[in-house]
Each structure stands twice: as C-alpha cells, then as structure tokens.
Amino acid sequence: MTPFGTRLAHAIEERGRFCVGIDPHAALLQEWGLGDDVASLERFALTVVEAVAPVVSVVKPQSAFYERFGSRGIAVLERVIAESRAAGALVLLDVKRGDIGSTSQAYADAYLDPASPLASDAVTASPFLGFGSLDPMIEACRRHGGGLFVLALTSNKEGPEVQHARTADGTVAGNVLDHLRRLNDGAAPVGSFGAVVGATIGSTAEDLDINGPFLVPGYGAQGGTTEDMRRIFGAAARWALPSSSREVLRAGPDRTALRDAAVRGNEAVHGLGA
C-alpha cells in the first residue's frame, strides 16, 4: 500500500489542504430543518459528502455523532466513509481511540484494516495511556498504508492540565511529538504519523518539526486564523490541515452553497506554509 503520507501530499497538491468536518450536531440538523433521527442524519451527512468530497482533499467525520444513533447510525457512517473515498477524498475518521493490548488491536482492526466496513485512510488517537499503547494502530498503519493523528496540543481549555505537564524528559506534549518525529524519520515527502495541534493554542515552545502532518482543529468558527497557524507552525505549516465543520455545514442544505463554502475555505488557506 502507498503510505498515507505520500497519498496526503498528492491530495494537498491536487485539492488543497482544507479539511471539512462532517459533524451532524443536533443543532445543525435543526438548522437544516431536519429532525434528530437516523433518516435526518443520513440525509444531512450524505448531502455534505455529495457536495464537498469531490472538491477537498480530506473529510473528517466525527464518529460520536453517528454512534449516538446506535447501529443504524454506524451504518450511515459506513456510507459516509465509502462514498467520500469513492469521490476522491481521503477520510480521516475522528474517533480519538486509545486503549491497551487486545482492545487497541481491535480498534486498529476496526478503523485501519481494509477488510472492515469502517476502514478509513487515517484516524485520530489518544496517547495518554502511554505512547506505546498505540503500537497496534501504528503497525496497522504500516501494514495497510494508513495514517494516525495523535493528540498533542489540543484546542480545548482542559488540555494543558495533561499536555503541559512535565516529565523527566520534558512536557507530555513534547514527548508525544518526539515519538512522532522518530516514527516519521526518513519518510518522504512526509510521514504518515501526525499530530493534533489546535489553531487556538496561541503559541508553543515545542518543536513541531516532526516530518509529519498536522490536524488543526479550531480554525474558522472557533476563532483560529491563518495568521495564528503561521505563528504556531512556522515552516511546518506546509503540512497543516486546517479543519472546519460549522462554517461549511451551515451553508446547507443547498449542495451548491456547501460546495462553494468548501472551495472558499480551501482558497483561504491556499498559501499556508508557502
């Protein structure tokens, strides 16, 4: 399998770096004039896929908004993944899984093995049971050409309590970034093991030169700007994926308006990292 980093680099070159979150919040369903039920979930999510998956490099469905509807919601998520990939977008499934041993292996099988109906190009993961707990996911990525985006410096206000905590070797976030740097060593044009770093963290003294991509939540409606990302990432911004959901999704349910919002988002971050 072609490594995820290689596929991502090609996708950014062809379609830009903007990542659209497909997050069917109950409030967004209501804004679209839809109910809070599985039929509405399906209509919302697949309308977004049809509009944006042909024009952006990455879509990011948040699994929780599908899981809350049970097995029928998961069935919708399976369609979102399959139809987005068929339209040429890479799917970054936002699941933030993190566990140990056989459970971690089961998550790897569920989200990164091509035999699974939930198989995606990449997933988000939590390293806070120890970075080594992610080994089954890392091995699955290597085996199947997948990608992993590991929480490092997140946008939420609670994050610093853990991420800025100090160990004998530096901060927790710094240790996570060190692990990713080692995993990506020698990869070209970019590694497959990325970090989640928020656009609203203000600034950081951590070394973000990890030869890997960044998922950057907090852009757009949450306050993050392109200037924020230039300040935070410096030269590493060339591999940043600014992610936005509400700013695009509120343009629906009109498909043309959704597509245009995604195109505008892409244009706004076109020069990032140049």
Inter-residue contact 61 to 89 (CB < 8 Å)? no
Q: Please identify which of the residues 96, 164, 238, 255 carries the catalytic annotation.
A: 96
Nearest to 8 by CA among 271, 204, 189: 189
One-letter amino acid of 222: Q
60 is catalytic: no
Please list, residue by residue across 113-148, b when 16 or more beta carbons sit within 10 angstroms of its beta carbon and e when fewer do: eeeeebbbbbbbbbbeeebebbebbbebbbebbbbb
Catalytic residue list: 96
